[in-house]
Amino acid sequence: MSHLLERMAFKSTANRSHLRVTREMSYTADILKTHLPEAVEILADVVLNTNYKNHEVKHELRKMFTQLKGVTSNPNAMLLEVMHKAGYKGALGNPLFWDPTTNSLSGNIASQFVARNYSAPRIVVAAAGCEHKELLAVAEPLFGHLPPVEPTPAPESVYTGGEYRQAMGGAAHVALGFELEGGWRNIPSATAMTVLVTLLGGGGSFSPGGPGKGMYSRLYTRVLNRYHWVQNCTAFHSVQNDTGLVGISAVTEGAYAGDLVEVMVTELKAVAAKGAISDVELARAKKATISSVLIALENKAIVAEDIGRQILTYDKRMPTDDFVAAVEKVTAADLAALAAKLLKTPVTVAALGDVSKVPEYSTIAKAFQ
């Protein structure tokens, strides 16, 4: 196998949809084009014919438990996890991280999971660097026998907003989020959201790579360059097929937590004000959005993953030119309208670390009314 595959990898990424919690699991291989049939056969064998042995599953669980101890003690790594727990009722509020105290896994359970979820409507075979007919000729005999049975949907989820706070050591980590209704499937809103998050930007108080790098976004110029006590202030999005969270996360010493929340509220409301976005920052944000996408698509592995994700979400792959054209059409009024719509949804607040000075949820919610 070593002479055939340049790289073979498995990746699992969270994709919480509005009606159910899903995980996108991708099995990938980097190969010479001439080895396409052998590579697809190996991937099909790994995906469909793996024998999950109990002792191997237990070995992996021990490794996972060690990794999770590091994650769950890291406020930055936990912010999005607790944001979903606080903001959603139903499936989207369920944890993505395995909790060894509430359940156990075995080879039999893993096999049942594969049989239940690896059905034809939920698998996409995608490739970059070959013709579609070439891939189809190889993949159809290997995957064509899969049952075309849709799995039973999980219980419905509803966005409610809410709060999660936990006292931990170190600085205060705070996030404020709002619902993006429609998620990725609401293409106009999703496009404007992508530009909005780029426009807000942000990052750490130290910019690696020399002075000026990445310091033109709104959160850099209006927050990080103005308040010495802000260690990090970054716009974020966690978007799924039909819903998503959009907002700002930030870090400061506990004594400044109240001031930090006030600054975050001010910046979120400012971007929603009519006429508050200049032509210069709008043009910069649109160009940065387009640039980041085009640069990413220089990588064939990312192209293949992009094809698979879009087929699962839209049942087709949208041309890159269409995305670029949609971004070019976004106006400052579009961004302000989207921001205003976001802020009308109930706020979700996550506070981890030194939370003693973080205002009460009712106080934060009232600031957006």
What's the pLDDT tens digit per position in 268-285?
999 999 999 999 999 999
pLDDT score of 204:
87
**215 within domain boundaries:** yes
pLDDT tens digits for range 194-221: 999 999 999 887 655 544 555 789 999 9
Does 148 fall in a domain?
no
Of 3 and 201, the structure prediction assigns the larger pLDDT to 201
Q: Are 197 and 246 in contact (CB under 8 A)?
A: yes
Q: Are residues 257 and 359 in the same domain?
A: yes
Reported pTM = 0.88
224 in Cβ contact with 233 (< 8 Å) = yes
Quick one: 167 and 113 in the same domain? Answer: no
Q: The domain spanning residue 205 has which CATH number?
A: 3.30.830.10
pLDDT band at 146 (very low <50, low <70, confident <90, very high): confident
CB-CB contact of 54 with 107 (8 Å): yes
Per-residue exposure over 324-355, b if at least 16 CB sit within 10 Å of its own CB, e if not: eebbeebebebbbebbebbbebbbbbbbbbbb
pLDDT of the residue at 4:
47
190 and 232: one domain?
A: yes
Let me know the angle formed at the C-alpha of 198 by 192 and 204, rounded to the nearest 5 degrees: 150
In 77-159, DSSP assigns E strands to 88-89, 158-159
Q: Is 352 found in the same domain as 268?
A: yes
Residue 18 pLDDT greater than 90, yes or no: no
Least reliable range by pLDDT among 25-29, 33-37, 188-192, 288-292: 25-29
Q: For the chain, what is the mean pLDDT? A: 88
107 — alpha (psi -120 to 50), left (phi > 0) or beta?
alpha
Q: What pLDDT is attached to residue 23? A: 54
Query: pLDDT tens digit string along 25-52?
Result: 889 899 999 999 999 999 999 999 988 9
pLDDT exceeding 90 applies to what percent of the chain?
Answer: 66
| Same structural domain, 122 and 12 | yes
Same structural domain for residues 226 and 295? Answer: yes
Task: Report whether pLDDT(286) > 70.
Answer: yes
Secondary structure letter of residue 73 according to DSSP: T
Q: What pLDDT, in 10s, does the model give residues 89-145?
A: 988 888 887 777 766 788 998 898 888 888 888 899 999 999 999 999 999 999 998
* Residue 287 structural domain: 159-367
If asked whether residues 98 and 203 sit together in one domain, one would say no
Q: Binning pLDDT at 50, 70 and 90, where does residue 19 land?
A: very low
Mean pLDDT value across residues 161-181: 96
Query: Does 150 fall in a domain?
Result: no
Query: What is the predicted pLDDT for the residue at 80?
Result: 92
Buried b (16+ CB within 10 A) or exposed e, 160-169: ebbbbbeebe
Q: Which one of 143, 168, 191 terminates a domain?
A: 143
Comparing C-alpha atoms, which of 341, 364, 13 is closest to residue 164? 364
Task: Please indicate, yes or no, if residue 132 is contained in any of the structural domains.
Answer: yes
Number of domains in the chain: 2
Residue 64 pLDDT grade (very low, low, confident, very high; cuts 50, 70, 90): confident
User: Which range has the worst mean pLDDT, 15-24, 47-56, 349-358?
Assistant: 15-24
> What DSSP letter does each residue of 9-61 carry, written as one string?
EEEEEEEE-SSSEEEEEEEEEEE-GGGHHHHHHHHHHHHHH----HHHHHHHH
Convert the pLDDT of each residue in 222-249 to its tens digit: 999 999 999 999 999 999 889 999 999 9
Beta pairing, strands 348-353 & 162-167: parallel
* Domain shared by 98 and 188, yes or no: no
